[in-house]
Every structure is written in structure tokens, then in C-alpha cells.
């Protein structure tokens, strides 16, 4: 057991200690900028006249099991068995540092005032407390991390945070710096997957497996990008201007009702385009016309998807085998992607960009709308099926003309509730 004098000495040592806990650079490392348009296809000049909608029966999601307390639920995602591995990884890392007389992965030298010498091991209980404090600190913001451990002075308007009674600052700092949730000996410096994602892979896989066991997805899903805020040093960060979190790690997620079901890392050189594994519906004896149609589908399925579009199919194929209706935004939507999704047994609907390969008439209408010469009336919908009648291309007049692609809707469906926005005058 450490005495209070020992704690005070370690607090004093902190100001002279190594700076591996602090940022190693003056400003954030700006990651690669997100491309303005991931898909660029020429407009379609052919058209069909009898769209064949893909039928998706509505199915609600199902929670298969929930523990009795929030703590039990939290421990499903962070079980003790996982923490025991973290302790093994951390002990291995500490031994490596001491054997090489360094204090961090930047090989800063170990000296007599290094906080590493104060390491006394760690337990699962301490990791749970540390995780709880991380969550608390993320909710209750302060200008400096250390401010959470400062008691307000007389006459000072400042919060008194409860974390101070669970763990001293020097120990929180020590755990934050040296805890390793991954095996440092298995990090491949030359792998295409960045080291930061390799380090998170084991815990990420566990969270997704637990999520899959608890949450059975319904029929209607959404695929989108998600930004995890990070302003430190990493070549894996991405800059997406206009987002609430413009700089950080970018991941692709498939979600429902606010629940992230599966996700994929986004990084430079990631390849999700080579994903054709054959159709989920392969017919046996077919008529010549059906064979020609099937040959056309197979030819379309061989068209390579862009990395961004390929993400959607990769995420769908990671779910239990069911029929799904996937909603996406205009970052993903292209007719080739929607054909491939339909071929694999998934319906799809999404907003579209004029350069996604949509029909030339709708692309023209979008340009006319921007110039103020569009002849659409408010709330009017026009549809043009693709030549194979498998993809429907829509334009809907709101305040501006909105383009859609779908394999499910004809365009004449109406919601139960009327459009809430008034007709602009």
C-alpha cells in the first residue's frame, strides 16, 4: 500500500518526467482529404418502361437477450477474460521497455525520474475504474485533463469531480500511458492496415460479435461513414470538411435504429471492390430469354465496384443471411452498385449525385433546377427505369430537385403522413 507521502513524491516527479503522455507535435497531423466525388459515371442514355420492384418484407429488429443491470451489459463488451489478456499484453510491453531502457515506442530513454519506474502492475478492477473515468471525463469536459483532480478553491466557481476519490492523477496517467489492449509483438509495420487499427482489431471484433449476439437486425438498414475524433499523430486520420467531427479516424458502418451492427476500417489502400462471390439466387432450368437476362446480370456483376461502393456490399454480406433494404446517401449510390446488391438479394434506396450514372434526362433536370429553369411542381416525382427495369431512377421536387436511385420503390408510393414543409411561394 502506498502512503500519501509516496503519492505526493510521484506527483512532484510528474513535472520532471518524460513527455510521452503529452502530444509529440505542435499541431494535429492532417490526414488525407476525402475525395469530393467517389463515383463518376457518364449519364445513362437508355431506359426501360416497366420497372420491376424488388420486394422486401418489413421485419423489425429483435433484442435476443439483455442482462439485468447496465454494468452486466457493459461487461459483456469488456469481459474480465479480455482484461486478463490486456494485463498480459501490458506486462509484456512494460518488460520490453525496461529491458531496452526506454519509456515509449519513440525510444525516449529511461531515467531515474521516469514514471515507468513507479509501475506496480495492474488489476482488472483498476482497468474497470480507469475505463469508467475515461467515460466520465469524456462527458464532463475540462480545459485540461488534470483539472478533473483539482478541488475548487475558496470563492472559485468550479466543479468538484468525483473521480478524485477513485484514482489519483498519477496512477490514471500511468495506466493511460502504458496500458496495452493489444500484443505489441504482433503489430506488423509493413501491413497495409495501419498500426492504430491493428491495435484496436481484437477489441473491435469482440464488440461486433457481442453486438451480433444481442441484436438481430430488421429489414431496413443504413450504411454510412462515421468519424471517430482524433487530432493526434497518425497517418490513418482523414479530413472530411463540413462534418461535425472533421478530423479523425473514418469507419464505414451498417446500422439500424442508432445501433452500429458491423463496421469496416477506412484507410488509404483499402480494397472492398473485389467482392463478387456469385448470386444468392441461381436458377436451374431457364428459358432462353431468362438465360439471356441472367447472362446480362452476371455480366453486370463482373463490373468492378469502386472502393466506396464496395463497402456497402461488404457490410451487407457480414450480416446474417436475410433479405434487407439498405439505405445509403449519395456518396455510395450508383446503378452498378444497386444492380449488384439486388443480384445478391438486397434492396437498396439512396440519394444520388448527377455524375453517378443516372439517366441523362434527370441529370439535365438537376442542372436546370440549379439555374432556376426547372418545370417541376412542388412535391412532383418523375421516374425513369433502367433499360433492364431493375433499377428505378427518380427525381423529386422539394426546395430543390433531389435525385434518387432505388430497386424497391416505383415512385408513386406515399407516406402515411403528409409532407410537413409548406409549398414555397
What's the domain count of the chain?
1
| pLDDT confidence bin for 84, thresholds 50/70/90 | very high
**Residue 96, in any domain of the structure:** yes
Distance CA 124, CA 126 (A): 5
Distance CA 91, CA 77 (A): 22
**Residue 9, in any domain of the structure:** yes
What pLDDT, on a 0 to 100 scale, did the predictor assign at position 275? 34
What pLDDT, on a 0 to 100 scale, did the predictor assign at position 424? 57
What pLDDT, on a 0 to 100 scale, did the predictor assign at position 283? 44
In this structure, the strands spanning 346-351 and 324-328 are parallel
* H helical segments located in 79-180: 80-100, 124-139, 169-178
Within 10 Å of residue 76's Cβ, how many Cβ atoms? Answer: 16
- Percentage of residues of the chain with pLDDT beyond 70: 80
**Residue 271, in any domain of the structure:** no
| pLDDT confidence bin for 419, thresholds 50/70/90 | low
Contact 253, 260 (CB under 8 A): yes
Contact 17, 115 (CB under 8 A): yes
Question: Residue 272 phi/psi, 5° resolution?
Answer: -115, 20
- Percentage of residues of the chain with pLDDT beyond 90: 59
**Residue 163, in any domain of the structure:** yes
Please tell me the least confidently modeled range out of 63-67, 160-164, 390-394: 160-164
For residue range 35-55, list pLDDT tens digits in order: 434 567 888 888 999 999 999
What residues make up the domain containing 170? 4-25+70-186
Distance CA 210, CA 204 (A): 10
pTM of the model as a whole: 0.78
Query: Is residue 141's pLDDT more than 50?
Result: yes
Cβ burial, residue 24 (10 Å; 0-12/13-18/19+): exposed
Distance CA 120, CA 133 (A): 20
For residue range 269-289, list pLDDT tens digits in order: 666 543 333 344 444 445 434
What pLDDT, on a 0 to 100 scale, did the predictor assign at position 277? 34
Cβ burial, residue 171 (10 Å; 0-12/13-18/19+): buried
Q: Which residues make Cβ contacts (< 8 Å) with residue 420, sequence separation at least 6?
A: none
269 vs 10 pLDDT, higher one? 269
**Residue 155, in any domain of the structure:** yes
For residue range 301-350, list pLDDT tens digits in order: 434 567 788 899 999 999 999 999 999 999 999 999 999 999 999 999 99
**Residue 130, in any domain of the structure:** yes
What pLDDT, on a 0 to 100 scale, did the predictor assign at position 268? 73
When mean pLDDT is compared over 84-93, 189-198, 229-238, 265-274, the highest value belongs to 84-93
In this structure, the strands spanning 220-229 and 238-239 are unpaired
For residue range 209-222, list pLDDT tens digits in order: 999 999 999 999 99
**Residue 402, in any domain of the structure:** no
What pLDDT, on a 0 to 100 scale, did the predictor assign at position 422? 56
69 vs 11 pLDDT, higher one? 69
| Closest by Cα among 394, 348, 320, 343 to 221 | 348
> With DSSP H G I counted as helix, E B as strand and the rest as coil, what are the percentages for the chain, rounded to 5?
35, 15, 50
* SS3 at position 412: coil
Query: Is residue 240's pLDDT more than 70?
Result: yes
Contact 55, 203 (CB under 8 A): no
Contact 323, 346 (CB under 8 A): yes
**Residue 118, in any domain of the structure:** yes
Query: Is residue 416's pLDDT more than 60?
Result: yes
Query: Is residue 89's pLDDT more than 80?
Result: yes
What pLDDT, on a 0 to 100 scale, did the predictor assign at position 320? 93
* H helical segments located in 101-168: 124-139
Q: What is the DSSP string of 3-68?
A: -HHHHHHHHHHHTTS-STTS-SSSS----PBPPS-S--BPPB----SS--PPP------EE----S
Q: Which residues make Cβ contacts (< 8 Å) with residue 128, sequence separation at least 6?
A: 78, 83
Amino acid at each position: 500500500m502506498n502512503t500519501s507521502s509516496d503519492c505526493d513524491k510521484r506527483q512532484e516527479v510528474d513535472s520532471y518526467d518524460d513527455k510521452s503522455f503529452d502530444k509529440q507535435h505542435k499541431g494535429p497531423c492532417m490526414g488525407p482529404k476525402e475525395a469530393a466525388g467517389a463515383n463518376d459515371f457518364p449519364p445513362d442514355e437508355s431506359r426501360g418502361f416497366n420497372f420491376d420492384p424488388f420486394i422486401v418484407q418489413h421485419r423489425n429488429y429483435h433484442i435476443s437477450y439483455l442482462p439485468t443491470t447496465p454494468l452486466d451489459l457493459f461487461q459483456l463488451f469488456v469481459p474480465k477474460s479480455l482484461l486478463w489478456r490486456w494485463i498480459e499484453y501490458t506486462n509484456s510491453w512494460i518488460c520490453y521497455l525496461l529491458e531496452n531502457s526506454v519509456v515509449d515506442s519513440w525510444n525516449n530513454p529511461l531515467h531515474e525520474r521516469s514514471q515507468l519506474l513507479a509501475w506496480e502492475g495492474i488489476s482488472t478492477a483498476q482497468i474497470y475504474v480507469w475505463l469508467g473515468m475515461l467515460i466520465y471525463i469524456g462527458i464532463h469536459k475540462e480545459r485540461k485533463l488534470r483539472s478533473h483532480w483539482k478541488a475548487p478553491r475558496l470563492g472559485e466557481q468550479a466543479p468538484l469531480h468525483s473521480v478524485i476519490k477513485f484514482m489519483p492523477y498519477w496512477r490514471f496517467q500511468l495506466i493511460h500511458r502504458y496500458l496495452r489492449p493489444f500484443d505489441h509483438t504482433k503489430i506488423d509495420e509493413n501491413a497495409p492496415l495501419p498500426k492504430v487499427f491493428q491495435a484496436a482489431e481484437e477489441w473491435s471484433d469482440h464488440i461486433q460479435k457481442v453486438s451480433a449476439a444481442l441484436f438481430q437486425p430488421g429489414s431496413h438498414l443504413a450504411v454510412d461513414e462515421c468519424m471517430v475524433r482524433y487530432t493526434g499523430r497518425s497517418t490513418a486520420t482523414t479530413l472530411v470538411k463540413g462534418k461535425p467531427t472533421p478530423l479523425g479516424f473514418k469507419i464505414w458502418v451498417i446500422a439500424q435504429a442508432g445501433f452500429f451492427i458491423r463496421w469496416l476500417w477506412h484507410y488509404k489502400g483499402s480494397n472492398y471492390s473485389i467482392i463478387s462471390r456469385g448470386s444468392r439466387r441461381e436458377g436451374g432450368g431457364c428459358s432462353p430469354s431468362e438465360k439471356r437476362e441472367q447472362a446480362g446480370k452476371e455480366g453486370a456483376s463482373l463490373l468492378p465496384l469502386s472502393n466506396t461502393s464496395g463497402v456497402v456490399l461488404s457490410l451487407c454480406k457480414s450480416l446474417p443471411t436475410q433479405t434487407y433494404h439498405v439505405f445509403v446517401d449519395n456518396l455510395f449510390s450508383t446503378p452498378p452498385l444497386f444492380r449488384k446488391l439486388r443480384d445478391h438479394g438486397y434492396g437498396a434506396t439512396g440519394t444520388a449525385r448527377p455524375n453517378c450514372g443516372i439517366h441523362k434526362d434527370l441529370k439535365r433536370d438537376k442542372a436546370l433546377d440549379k439555374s432556376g429553369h426547372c418545370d417541376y411542381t412542388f412535391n412532383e416525382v418523375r421516374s425513369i427505369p433502367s433499360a433492364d427495369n431493375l433499377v428505378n431512377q427518380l427525381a423529386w421536387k422539394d426546395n430543390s430537385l433531389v435525385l434518387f436511385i432505388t430497386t424497391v420503390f416505383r415512385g408513386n408510393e406515399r407516406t402515411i403522413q403528409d409532407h410537413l414543409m409548406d409549398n414555397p411561394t
